[in-house]
Structure 1
Amino acid sequence: MVSGTSENDLPAVLQAVLDELRALDEPKVRAVNERHGDDHGVNLTKLRAVAKRLKTRPALARELWATGDSAARLLALLVCRPKGYGRDELDTMMREARTPKVQDWLVAYVVKKSPYAEELRVGWLQDPDPAVAAAGWSLTADRVVKKPAGLDLDGLLDTVEAELKDAPDRLQWAMNTCLAQIGIEHPAHRARALAIGERLAVLKDYPTSPGCTSPYAPVWIDEMVRRAEARA
């Protein structure tokens, strides 16, 4: 267990952390994750506990990322200093990230906190790599909710309407999220967002657990608007 160890002996610290991650690997967790395209077997609550104990360790984070191991990369994203990465470095990391969870955490915990987030968002939106483009759409959906000023919402809906139906799974999911968030957050565009969702019927039959909201955009939009109106 590594706790409070100086990074002056970085190779030893790295090895101790990797050994701990290997000890935490559980076959049952790995089997579940593999069904979703991930390739690690560490329970994420336990992984977060390791990160909490380690605190912020930029040098260690880079070494963990460099291993290529998914559990190590997830830990790296929790103990890194997001603003310490350059634009090109983040772009490279996104292209190196092979699994959905690593890609999602890279966007959520690092790129969104970076001063290069907007530049990367714009560049990634039209990237030929679907996973990279999905990251661009995830960042766009976040802006739709939190900082929509300057966004061309009609243009985004045009692209969604033209490309959503045939997009690869991860890209489709991110574009669909953006479609739903436009409909939820922007009443002036709600009717069009609903119409696009209904016509394309993307994720209409997606299995949804009881108590959860369907990712099918028309249902998602209607439910979130209903909840907002109930709180008003």
Structure 2
Amino acid sequence: MSLSKKLSDILSQINDTTTKLGDLRRIAGDIKKDHEMALELWSKGIYLARQLAILIMDKKLLSQEVIDSLDQDIQQHPQEESLQLIDWLMANQLSKDKKMIALMESWQNSPSKLQRRIFWYYQGRQRWVGQTPPANSEKLLSSIEDTIEKEQPEVQWAMNFAAAQIGIFQPEYRSRCIALGENTGLYKDEIVGKNCTPNYIPEYIAIQVAKIKK
């Protein structure tokens, strides 16, 4: 089957109103790794097609230059889609490869707000997934305290997440993280849905620590 026919068949399985993330994972499982197809899907500029493309990319073919190009494309989407795509790229590709992890860890001061977001999201995620916390928590917290209020909202969220995870999993920093949340007041007045964890750090930490103790 030609590439164009395969592409057409794949696109016919994607529908903005009914396709779920689980459906995309099923489709990706059928395709397996196919970087050429991923680039074809990506070139369509369609949100769901780009989510699927991320799942079937070959991480060994990613580089800073390629990621910069993907980043620029992602920033053309509405904000909610943009954040979903960059976070999806981190979770499904960048965090799966040592070379990509090294790249992410170099993005703290990247000119790209999305790459700065991923730097902080990855730092928080390392703790959230149950790994032994890296030895950089003191340095991270100092940076968050100095810069979070000056950052772009997309990056603020990830810095806030990282601070919350440090406070949850490293008791020696808990009071400092709670104080950070109280001082910035970020997300204090945010309305969250039932059974959702608030982003306001003092509440976030209290809820998650209580869950762990159970």
Q: Same fold (TM over 0.5)?
A: yes
**Aligned with residue 53 of structure 1, among 30, 44, 56:** 30
Q: Deviation at 1:210? A: 1.5
2: distance between equivalents of 1:150 and 1:11? 49
The structural deviation recorded for 1:65 is 1.9
Match of 2:42 in 1: 65
For residues 194-213 of structure 1, what are the structure 2 equivalents within 5 Å?
194-213=178-197
Contact 1:95/1:132 (8 A) holds in 2: no
Q: Please give the per-residue CA displacement for 1:105-162, whole angstroms capped at 9, x wherever unaligned.
A: 10110100122233222321111322221011111212344253342x1221112112
- Counterpart of 2:125, as a letter, is D
Q: Which amino acid aligns with 1:148?
A: P
| Deviation, structure 1 residue 180 | 0.1
Unaligned regions of 5+ residues in structure 1, if any? 1-5, 30-41
Displacement of 1:46 = 3.2
In the alignment, what sits opposite 1:148?
Answer: 133
Cα offset for 1:93? 2.3
Question: 1:179 — aligned with what?
Answer: 163
Q: Where does structure 2 lack aligned partners over 5 or more consecutive residues?
A: 76-81
> In the aligned structure 1, how far is the partner of 2:37 from the partner of 2:101?
27
Which moved further from structure 2: 91-100 or 153-162?
Answer: 91-100
Q: Does structure 1 conserve the Cα–Cα contact (< 8 Å) formed by 2:38 and 2:52? A: yes
Aligned to 1:14: 7
Runs in 1 of length 4+ with deviation above 4 angstroms?
none
Q: In structure 2, how many angstroms separate the alpha carbons of the residues matched to 1:46 and 1:138? A: 25
What's the secondary structure of 1:125's corresponding residue? coil
Identical aligned residues as a percent: 28
RMSD: 2.1
Contact 1:83 1:115 in 2 (8 A): no
Aligned to 2:79: none
1:135 aligns with 2:126: no
Partner of 1:112: 95
CA gap 1:116/1:90 in 2 versus in 1, 3 angstroms: farther
Residue equivalent to 2:141: 157
Kindly tell me the number of residue pairs found equivalent between the two proteins: 206
Q: Distance in 1 between matches of 2:126 and 2:164?
A: 13
